[in-house]
Amino acid sequence: MFEKIWARHVVAEGPGGHVLLYVDRHLLHEGTTAAFTRLARSGRRVRRPDLSFATADHYVRTAPGSPTPDDEIRNMVESLARHTALQGVVYFGVGDARRGIVHVIGPEQGLTVPGITLVCGDSHTATHGAFGALAFGIGSSEVEHVMATQTLWQKRPRTMRITVDGRLAPGVEAKDVILAIIATIGAGGGVGHAIEYAGAAIRAMSMDERMTVCNMSIEGGARAGMIAPDDTTFAYIEGRPFAPRGRARQQALAYWKTLPSDPAAVFDREVQLAADEIAPTVTWGTSPQDALPITARVPDPATVGDAGRRESMARALAYMGLRSGTPLSEIPVNRVFIGSCTNSRLDDLRAAARVVKGRRAVVPAWVVPGSGLIKRAAEQEGLDRIFLEAGFEWREAGCSMCVGMNGETARESERVASTSNRNFEGRQGKGARTHLMSPAMAAAAAVTGRLTDVRTLHA
């Protein structure tokens, strides 16, 4: 599948194995305003404004009625609005009900479809690969290059297929699957590769779940993550605002159905996991690879042979304030965050609400929908009332505490049960300690005040 899409988009061959790739879709957020400014200073215009789409998500605050944190952030958001208007780029801005996290609204609006190349100045662009697209994050200078030329120089990555066969047990979600995968291959296991996720467990997932898996491909070191399009994909896309319609849809479907990897396709690396061996999973350290089933204990670095890994584990445990041998299910939490481009879609909110219903949060807990439309849909289902009655904060759409660029952070030494994608030191605030997990597991932590096996609450 990767090779089919790659070959179709090569414009020219370059030195050192590099090729000039045509870009079908360019997504932008307020962090890319510097590229707009440089483009304007050079006297250039966006080459294909009809293929570029922008939103404000990283820096906007999510507390209802909350003011912009400072002048610099206000200027970034206002600058994005000005530049997109001048360049004729569609902008889902503040006050637009469609505004939300860029990797949520792309699929939601029908901008993400199979077989395209899609880039964005954000590392979690791999999310869009769930549709059978080749999607990856780019840097600021590359953003400007795509604006000006609608192309990008890239070196062809190797291919990896990760197959998850069998059926997931009750209580095990897509987030558990990707955490288990990263724990298996390591944070650097996918470096230099485009990963294709396959197998019965992947095919059984909804599109929301598939996006969760592809989203965290970057945490496994991969350039991109992809899932072959199928009837689930086609049904999700149908009728969305920017998706092909009528005759164009029929032509697109004919092409989309040619994309899945051929039965005899050879990958540079193959990895297999058994779905029934995956349990609800949480991280204990400061890398997404530091993940274990909730039934496990905090590991002991002394048992690890590799000196470098042993040292990094010891440093992670010191930062996290954890002691080897402690059952993960006995670790208390101070705060819960349900949101981010990994887990803020309607399926995610439903999963958390099922756990929360009839219970009360015993620690501060936020629910941040991925877009204004998801927020509205959740409210129509009454999910907001479930969260509010349980003592959760129901917020506006945005990246929020996942990246903390807008002042929405945890306090130093505060332990956060989070559905986001990164648990690096300081990711959610200086000295904040982040444990990654699924929405259901985060909801379970909120109502118990500790890392909790969600399956015990369903019993």
The answer to whether position 124 is within a domain reads yes
Out of 256, 273, 294, pick the residue that ends a domain: 256
Provide the percentage of residues in the chain whose pLDDT is more than 90.
93
The answer to whether position 262 is within a domain reads no
Write out the two tokens for 130: 């769930």
Q: Determine the pLDDT at residue 435.
A: 98
Write out the two tokens for 173: 């979600």
Contact 371, 100 (CB under 8 A): yes
pLDDT at 446 over 70: yes
Q: Give the least confident one: 110-114, 148-152, 197-201, 454-458.
A: 454-458
pLDDT tens digits, residue range 364-405? Answer: 999 999 999 999 999 999 999 999 999 999 999 999 999 888
Q: Are residues 193 and 84 in the same domain?
A: yes
Distance CA 212, CA 201 (A): 14
Q: Determine the pLDDT at residue 69.
A: 66
380-419 burial code (b ≥16 CB/10 A, e <16) = eeebbebbeebbbbbbbbbbbbbbbbbebbbeeebbbbbb
Out of 256, 275, 296, pick the residue that ends a domain: 256
CA distances from 449 to 33, 412, 421, 435, 444 (A): 40, 18, 21, 13, 8
Q: Determine the pLDDT at residue 421.
A: 97
pTM for this model (two decimals): 0.97
pLDDT tens digits, residue range 270-280? Answer: 999 999 999 99
Instruction: Return the DSSP state at 26.
Output: E
The answer to whether position 276 is within a domain reads no
Q: Determine the pLDDT at residue 404.
A: 83
Distance CA 195, CA 239 (A): 29
Q: Determine the pLDDT at residue 172.
A: 98
Distance CA 94, CA 459 (A): 43
Q: Are residues 26 and 162 in the same domain?
A: yes
Q: Are residues 450 and 313 in the same domain?
A: yes
pLDDT tens digits, residue range 72-99? Answer: 778 889 999 999 999 999 999 989 999 9
Domain range for 159: 2-256
> Mean pLDDT throughout 422-449?
97
* Burial of residue 346 (number of CB atoms within 10 Å: 0-12, 13-18, 19+): buried
Q: Determine the pLDDT at residue 407.
A: 85
> Mean pLDDT throughout 413-428?
96
Q: Determine the pLDDT at residue 436.
A: 98
CA 370 to chain centre: 11
Distance CA 426, CA 306 (A): 26
Distance CA 60, CA 111 (A): 22
pLDDT at 35 over 90: yes
Distance CA 378, CA 393 (A): 14
Number of domains in the chain: 2
The answer to whether position 273 is within a domain reads no
Q: Are residues 301 and 421 in the same domain?
A: yes
Q: Are residues 200 and 291 in the same domain?
A: no
Q: Determine the pLDDT at residue 68.
A: 64
Q: Give the least confident one: 91-95, 193-197, 256-260.
A: 91-95
What residues does 198 pair with on adjacent strands?
163
pLDDT interval class at 459 (50, 70, 90)? low
Write out the two tokens for 316: 């992670």
- Can you give 300-322 as a three-state secondary structure string? CHHHCCCHHHHHHHHHHHHHHCC
DSSP string, 210-262: HHHHHHGGGGGT-SEEEE---HHHHHHHTT-TTS--HHHHHHHHHHHTT-SPP
Angle between helices 140-149 and 33-41 (to 10 degrees): 50
What residues does 164 pair with on adjacent strands?
273
What element of type H or E holds 417? strand 415-418
What spatial distance separates the first Cα and last Cα of the chain, rounded to whole Å?
41
Q: Are residues 207 and 318 in the same domain?
A: no
pLDDT interval class at 64 (50, 70, 90)? confident
Q: Are residues 190 and 331 in the same domain?
A: no
Average pLDDT, the chain: 96
The answer to whether position 265 is within a domain reads no
Q: Are residues 10 and 97 in the same domain?
A: yes
Q: Are residues 226 and 296 in the same domain?
A: no
The answer to whether position 64 is within a domain reads yes
Q: Are residues 244 and 302 in the same domain?
A: no
The answer to whether position 277 is within a domain reads no
Q: Determine the pLDDT at residue 67.
A: 66
Q: Are residues 227 and 374 in the same domain?
A: no
The answer to whether position 214 is within a domain reads yes
Write out the two tokens for 446: 């909120």
Q: Are residues 166 and 47 in the same domain?
A: yes
Give the residue, 407 or 174, on which the prediction is more confident. 174
pLDDT tens digits, residue range 323-357? Answer: 999 999 999 999 999 999 999 999 999 999 999 99
CATH of the domain at 313: 3.30.499.10
